[in-house]
Each structure stands twice: as structure tokens, then as C-alpha cells.
Amino acid sequence: MTDNLIERAKGVLTSALVVHTDIVVKDAGGIYVEDVSGRRFMDFSSGLATVNTGHNHPKVVAAIKRQAGIFMHSGSIFHYEPVVLLAEKLRGITPPGMDMFFFSNSGAEAVEGAIKLARHHTGRQGVVAFVGGFHGRTYGSLSLTTSNILYRRKYQPVVPSVYHSPYPYCYRCFFGQRQDSCSMDCYRYLERLLKHLIPPDEVACIIIEPVLGEGGYVVPPAGFLNRLRDLCSRWDIMLVLDEVQAGMGRTGRWFASEHFGVIPDIMTIAKGIASGMPLSAVASRKDIMQAWPPGAHGTTFGGNPVSCAAAIATIDAIQEQGMLGNAAWVGEYALNRLRTIQASYDRIGDVRGLGLMIGIEFVKEGGPDPDGLRDILRRCLDKGLVLLECGVDRNIIRLAPPLLTTVAEMERGLDILEESLREAGAGR
Ligand SMILES: Cc1ncc(COP(=O)(O)O)c(C=O)c1O
């Protein structure tokens, strides 16, 4: 059945879609994936930061099977319980005020919904996003995405009235500043943008990832998001937090914004929400959601009953198994150990993160080192550890294992990483 699968795939699937490994899966469970030859791999990518509860969590699998036997599709024709129950549950775990939801299928779709909601609600067109951000590949979301020029090449013109300001990426500051003497020029740039390019009273929303994902697993400096919050409140601009990658427990809290004490007007959720089943959500306040008139937005597949059942089981599993606390604890362990490793390996320029959303940046002679990183990732894969890269120069490991990874498993994973670094001669 799986003979020559990769070759067969090349014959029928477009080369535009990059598959990151040559692993042909036979089976998966928890943090492990087994290939057709019986080799087991630790998946520290969580299938692109998505299977936060691990692969095939039994509770999620049972919920999917149960719901598939009851009712599989509504197409906005019928009412069904899972979608309401899920919204009620999400209301209990999202930041205060996020109490109404619109469900769709992917992160990009949620971002599309968020932009439309912000424009509709404010009656303004302007959207401000951040250089380095990733928000999806559909035209509206692509207009915001700037994490890599590859995603935009040959697709211009994108949606108009979108402006960009640099993401606060302290290790490689756009303004050449150092963290200890930073005067937050990135925020000043944004203020200037609102004086030179678009007035704040024409801006519908400012959209930002509370922790940068695809762009490099970057944690913004203390106070940046709070300043955005103040700016938005002053000008009645909707603050949209794109929690597609950082949300659903990835950072050791339900949502990354909790680390900064910032409450958005609109929030997007996807990836980890349903443990791999296609589902996403736009969340907002009741007054904003209720002012969105019937038919102003819609979907055929969004809020699919099976996906909603998977999401309910996902939230329950995260709560019952204490996965948030575990992610915080194992993440802290990993950060400490990685900082110790960093002291012996000059190719590791920076280690940063929150919970189990950790970036390890590879450098050489002061610049990014994508070749060095590629070599390390290959060595790790040979030893049974799946890791994924990110960042505009593809020189950053995004460490994003499932939230139930134990300290012992993390230890094993980091042993493999350290062995690979040693073999590659990346030491001082
Ligand atoms: C922050 C963020 N927003 C949006 C998206 C788009 O999600 P999707 O690939 O499900 O469309 C992603 C995907 O990586 C993401 O990380």
C-alpha cells in the first residue's frame, strides 16, 4: 500500500506544498510517530504546533468517533449541541470579554473573519500588521503576512490599506538597538506610521501575534503589547491578537496574551483548538459580535460538529491532565537546559520562549546560519527527533512539542540535540 509513497505523492501532489520530512506514517500516539518500517520518532513539531494534546489523544479520538456516528455536517442549516457547548467552554478559558465566537476551518480563515469584523464594526479600512508576522496565505491574510518574501512573491497586488510596522524582535532589532539600552524605536516607528501613512482614526485594527510564530518564535519585550492596547483604546482601533499558534496552551497558559495582561478586542484561535481536526475561531465581545448583521459573514464547513466535539475533548483533556502546568514546567526546564547548552556552543546565538514555544537561533560570524541549522535538524532526525525550523532566514529551531511531554522526554530530546551539536562541531 505505502510502496513508493513519496514518489507517488510527487506524481500527484503539487510541489508548492512542502512536506518537511520523508517519514511515511504508519501510526502515531502521544509525542511519538512510527513510520512504515517500524522506526519511532519523537515529534517535537506537534504537526506544526497543532497536536497540543499529542497525536491521537484517546479522549479526542473517542469524541470524534462518537460524534461521527451522530451528526457530521450542518452547513449552517441545523442547530447542534457541540458548537454551542464548545463556545460555552471557550468563553470560560479565553480572556475576559471574549464571549462570542464565529467558527471556521483554518487559521487563515479566522484571520479573514477578524479583519472583516474589525472593518465592519469600525467602518474603517486601515489594517496595521507587523513585519515578520505570519497570518495565513489567503489573500486577506496574505496581505498581513510578511514572515518571508516567498509567501508574497508573484502574488501582488495584495489587499490594499494594509500597513506594516516592525515586530519587536529584540535579538535582531530592526533599529540595531540593544535590549539593555532599548528605547522601543519599534513602537515609535508605529506612532510615526500613524502620522505619515494613515491617521489612527482610519485604522480598523492592529493585528499582532502575541508571540511571533513562523517569523522566529520571538517573545515581544515587556510593555510592547500593553502600549498597543493603550494606543488602540485611545483611537477606538480594534486590537486583534492572532493566537493561532501561541494559543491553546502552547505557552503554558491558555492564551499567550495572559503573560502580558493584555485583553484584545478580537482574537483568532486555530491549530491546537481541536488536536488536528480542522477548526478555527474568531472571538470577540458580545457588543461587537452582535452588531455584525446576519449574513455579513458565513461558512459551509466552519464549526463542523466532529471538529467541535474534538475541540471539547481537547479542552477537557488539557484541563484534566494539567497540561498547562506541565507545559510551563517542562518549558522552563528546557529553557534552562538550552541556556546551559548555549554556553558551550557558539552557533547558538539566542534561546527564548514561553512554555513549550521555544526558539533556538543559530548564528555564524554574527549572521544567521541556516546551513548549520539544516545540518543539525538532519542529524536530529537520523536519531529519531523531529524538529522544525522557522524565521525569515530559516535559522531558528521552533521547539514545540505536545503539552504533555514529560521532563524525561524533553531531556531525551535535548540529549539528541546536544549530541548532534557535538557531532557537527558547533562548540566553542
Ligand atoms: C499566527 C498564525 N496565524 C495564522 C496562521 C494560518 O493558519 P492556517 O495555516 O491554518 O491557515 C498560522 C499558521 O501557521 C499562524 O501561525
Biggest CA pair distance of the chain: 64
- Please state, for a pLDDT cut of 90, what percent of the chain lies above it: 96
**Ligand 1 mutation target, pool 244, 257, 269, 398, most atoms within 8 A of CB:** 244
With a cut of 80, say whether residue 377 has pLDDT above it.
Answer: yes
If asked whether residues 146 and 69 sit together in one domain, one would say: yes
Q: Which backbone phi and psi does 386 adopt, to 5 degrees? A: -90, 120
Alpha carbon dihedral 373, 342, 134, 249, in 10-degree steps, equals 120
Same domain membership, residue 340 and residue 231? no
> Which residue in 39, 409, 42 sits closest to 51, CA to CA?
42
| Residue from 135, 147, 277 whose mutation best tests the ligand 1 pocket (most atoms within 8 A of CB) | 135
Residue 428 lies in a domain: no
CA of 268 to the centre of ligand 1 (A): 10
Q: Cα separations (Å) of 285 from 93, 143, 218, 227, 372?
A: 14, 25, 28, 21, 46
What's the gap in Å between 242 CA and the centre of ligand 1?
A: 9
Regarding whether 387 and 350 lie in a shared domain, the answer is: yes
Domain check: are 273 and 169 in the same one?
yes
Q: What is the pLDDT of residues 299-354, one digit of tens each?
A: 999 999 999 999 999 999 999 999 999 999 999 999 999 999 999 999 999 999 99
* Ligand 1 nearest atom to the CA of residue 137, by list position: 11
- Give the Cα separation of 57 and 50 in Å (integer): 12
Exposure string over 228-248, b if 16+ CB within 10 A, otherwise e: bbebbeebebbbbbbbbbbbb
Is 5 a residue whose pLDDT tops 80? yes
**DSSP 8-state class, residue 97:** T
Length of the chain, please?
428
Q: Which of 261, 285, 320 is the last residue of a domain?
A: 320
Q: From ligand 1's centre to the CA of 71, what distance in Å?
A: 28
pLDDT in tens, 106-163: 999 999 999 999 999 999 999 999 999 999 999 999 999 999 999 999 999 999 999 9
Q: Select from 270, 296, 320 the last residue of a domain.
A: 320
Q: Which of 20, 245, 255 to mutate to test the pocket of ligand 1 (most atoms within 8 A of CB)?
A: 245
Evaluate if residue 57 carries a pLDDT over 80. Answer: yes
End-to-end distance of the chain based on CA atoms, in angstroms? Answer: 48
CA of 107, closest atom in ligand 1: 7
Q: Is 32 within a domain?
A: yes
CB atoms within 10 A of CB 211: 28
Shared domain check, 298 and 234: yes
Which of the 8 DSSP states describes residue 21?
-
Instruction: Answer yes or no: do 256 and 297 share one domain.
Output: yes
179 & 159 share domain: yes
Q: Verify that 68 and 193 share a domain, yes or no.
A: yes
Among 271, 293, 320, the domain-final residue is: 320
Question: Would you tell me how many other CB atoms lie within 10 Å of the CB of residue 322?
Answer: 12
pTM above 0.95, yes or no: yes
Question: Which residues' Cβ are closer than 6 Å to ligand 1?
Answer: 106-108, 111, 134-136, 209, 213-214, 242, 244-245, 270
- CATH number of residue 307's parent domain: 3.40.640.10
Taking the CA atoms of 17, 21, 24 and 25 in sequence, report the sign of the dihedral they define.
negative
C-alpha distances (whole Å) from 109 to each of 30, 106, 115, 136, 315 are: 28, 5, 10, 8, 21
Amino acid at site 296 = A
Do 284 and 330 lie in one domain? The reply is no
Instruction: Tell me whether residue 10 is in a domain.
Output: yes
Beta-carbon contacts of 354 under 8 Å, excluding residues fewer than 6 positions away, are 211, 219, 246, 251, 252, 256, 259, 331
Q: What is the pLDDT of residues 270-293, one digit of tens each?
A: 999 999 999 999 999 999 999 999
Q: Residue 366: is its pLDDT beyond 90?
A: no
228/340 same-domain check: no
User: Please, which pLDDT band fits residue 267 given cuts at 50, 70 and 90?
Assistant: very high
Q: Are residues 199 and 233 in the same domain?
A: yes
- Å from CA of 359 to ligand 1 middle: 17
Instruction: Write down the mean pLDDT value for the chain.
Output: 97
Q: Ligand 1 centre and the CA of 81: distance in Å?
A: 27
Domain total in the chain: 2
Q: Which tens digit of pLDDT belongs to each residue from 292-306?
A: 999 999 999 999 999
Q: Three-class SS of residue 328? A: helix
pLDDT score, position 43: 98
Structural domain span for residue 22: 5-57+322-423
Q: Give the number of the atom of ligand 1 that is nearest the alpha carbon of residue 213.
A: 16
pLDDT at 427 over 80: no
Out of 218, 271, 275, 277, give the residue to mutate to test ligand 1, the one with the largest number of ligand atoms within 8 Å of its CB. Answer: 271
Residue 244 reports pLDDT greater than 80? yes
